Structure 1
């Protein structure tokens, strides 16, 4: 199967699962309480299993593998730093509440819910391992500078949130498994693998149910379209150019470009609602960027 056909099939699967999530919310089968439970399950159990199983792929642990992980972290940290700096200038003309939402959307994308399943589907479990490492600076930024856009933060509490984040813990466990060569009984491995296989379906159901609650009036505001153009097209294109120039390994470049081109994260609306920013703008960012990403992500993947 060609990459183009594979990407079309994948995007159709994602669209169908989003539609199911949308329908389940409209039919009130998935209520806000159920969605919150699914999100908690996804973040605390399913995604960590996806991360752990990616480290159990019999990769040969050598200096090249460790260097690739190191490169992934450094590239992600640089991308996050550029996101933070750029967002201060890109959205400064807007009211502070709107600017904070737009800036958070630049710093924190939906890379876990959508990005990891896509990477897994295209490049396999080893790529998920590198993607999980790539996620660490994103998680750190989310709980520090990202959260500070909405409320004053206690740096000690922020550090604890990062250390206790299930995905970070899963990466640490994964590294221990990979470095020590521990072999679990087959039933344990298959259990972790079975749970991990639920990642895409649950994440798309959650995102679809969120989209079902967004108001469609005045959806395509200029600031929303500006954000989508930067987040989905311009930013990943610049990352692609920079990493091509630096001759970064192909897989890491692909991961960086795809993860950079993810739509706005669902936490954007949650934090905006909780801390008095414009939750409607946040919801629009999520909806429009998620819908448009169905078109832009395959284009990004085909260009890699």
Structure 2
């Protein structure tokens, strides 16, 4: 029961910041460009600094090298979820114009804007490397297979570029992770003033991420939430099948307990916030994607305490 209450406490920390972002958006504090600005601040400034600071200050080269091979577990989980998504889309006759987007949202999760702050709130900074392992795998799948599937739904002729996709895989947060990893492996110590700067900037990650989600919820509108067939199937995949599948895979391993919990939570995170943007680019149904981001993000706040009680 103590674990359940600790989970509720961690979620309340997150929820209050989300609510703040929502209220400020509803009061007109932010214009149309604000959410893009906050997203850029998080992904291009705060999160890379957070990665570098956390890795260089808390982990040894041996610990990091031992963790990297565990990429295989989230990769296996996502491949199985991808196959399940394709089968479910056929079995339940999901609209053909939505099948690519449906499949992408079904097997990819929001591992940074939601996953990172939730894990940090619940497990502390020790969880961050495990979060990053899952993030590396998830972002690779989304910007390759996920983006290709969304493009198939679209009616625009915007060409799919593997070069651009791989450039997005190696985004600032991931480059921050690799730089932190390199500094630790080479045993390079950063000057204290630089460590402090990285710490201050990195600490912006969680509050700005949560305010961003509040803005996104306000923009999509709570009135747009609809629990139709296509919506319910996404919720089934994100919050039931994904964590169950990950639990099954991890039950056959002797991985550290914290890594197992982080992987399970990461698998049950909401739909990627990038999905509506990519859908809009290729002429797919971006409104459907935006609504699913909103629904799954809000329901995450209910699902995580229950999931923590189980694991």
Same fold (TM over 0.5): yes
| Residue in 2 that maps onto 1:128 | 128
Q: How many residue pairs are counted as aligned between the two chains? A: 301
Structure 1 position 262 matched with structure 2 position 269: yes
| Residue in 2 that maps onto 1:76 | 74
**In structure 1, which of residues 277, 282, 287 is the aligned counterpart of residue 294 of structure 2?**
287
Shift of 1:241: 2.5
Residue 195 of structure 1: SS of its match in structure 2?
helix
Inter-partner Cα distance in structure 2 for 1:118 and 1:193: 19
Taking only aligned residues, the RMSD between alpha carbons, in angstroms, comes to: 1.9
**In structure 1, which of residues 186, 202, 210 is the aligned counterpart of residue 208 of structure 2?**
202
The answer to whether the 8 Å contact 1:104/1:146 transfers is: yes
Counterparts in 2 of 1:223 and 1:272: CA distance versus 1, 3 Å: same
- Structure 1 alignment gaps of length 5 or more: none
The answer to whether the 8 Å contact 1:53/1:125 transfers is: no
Inter-partner Cα distance in structure 2 for 1:98 and 1:208: 26
Residue 113 of structure 2: SS of its match in structure 1?
helix
Shift of 1:107: 3.2
Residue 212 of structure 2: SS of its match in structure 1?
helix
TM-score by length of 2: 0.90
Counterparts in 2 of 1:27 and 1:158: CA distance versus 1, 3 Å: same
Structure 1 position 228 matched with structure 2 position 235: yes
Shift of 1:96: 2.5
Structure 1 position 170 matched with structure 2 position 184: no
Counterparts in 2 of 1:2 and 1:136: CA distance versus 1, 3 Å: same
- Structure 2 alignment gaps of length 5 or more: 152-158
**In structure 2, which of residues 86, 89, 92 is the aligned counterpart of residue 88 of structure 1?**
86
TM-score by length of 1: 0.92
Structure 1 position 186 matched with structure 2 position 192: yes
Shift of 1:169: 0.7
The answer to whether the 8 Å contact 1:14/1:204 transfers is: yes
Shift of 1:218: 6.0
The answer to whether the 8 Å contact 2:3/2:309 transfers is: yes
Question: For residues 53-81 of structure 1, what are the alpha-carbon distances to aligned partners after superposition, in whole Å with 9 as ceiling and x for unaligned?
Answer: 2212343332x64222211x111221222
The answer to whether the 8 Å contact 2:217/2:294 transfers is: yes
Shift of 1:2: 4.1
Inter-partner Cα distance in structure 2 for 1:126 and 1:245: 23
Inter-partner Cα distance in structure 1 for 2:190 and 2:271: 37
| Residue in 2 that maps onto 1:38 | 38
Inter-partner Cα distance in structure 1 for 2:246 and 2:148: 26
Inter-partner Cα distance in structure 2 for 1:235 and 1:224: 16
Structure 1 position 51 matched with structure 2 position 57: no
Question: For residues 138-166 of structure 1, what are the alpha-carbon distances to aligned partners after superposition, in whole Å with 9 as ceiling and x for unaligned?
Answer: 11112111111233522233223323x11
Task: Name segments (4+ residues, structure 1) moved above 6 Å.
Answer: none
| Residue in 2 that maps onto 1:149 | 149
